[in-house]
Amino acid sequence: MLSLGTGVMIIQKQDQRTGKLTEGKIKRILTSSKLHPHGIKVELEDGKIGRVQNII
């Protein structure tokens, strides 16, 4: 389960074609449902927004 401060790898919208992942810690969870087919959307502590691909 995701919680604030969890380390994750996200894919940002502009990186979807290349598959480039960005690492960071969760600041806010933006998706209201517990499951999403493309990944839960989160905001990282550095302000980047993307969908969770892996939990680290």
Domain boundaries, the chain: 7-55
Cα separation of 16 and 33, whole Å? 21
5: tokens are 């401060």
Global pTM value: 0.92
Give the model confidence (pLDDT) of 35-44 as tens digits.
999 999 999 9
The CA distances from residue 33 to 6, 22, 37, 40, 44, in Å, are: 18, 22, 11, 8, 18
Encode pLDDT of 3-53 as tens digits: 999 999 999 999 999 999 999 999 999 999 989 999 999 999 999 999 999
Please, what's the largest Cα pairwise distance for the chain? 27
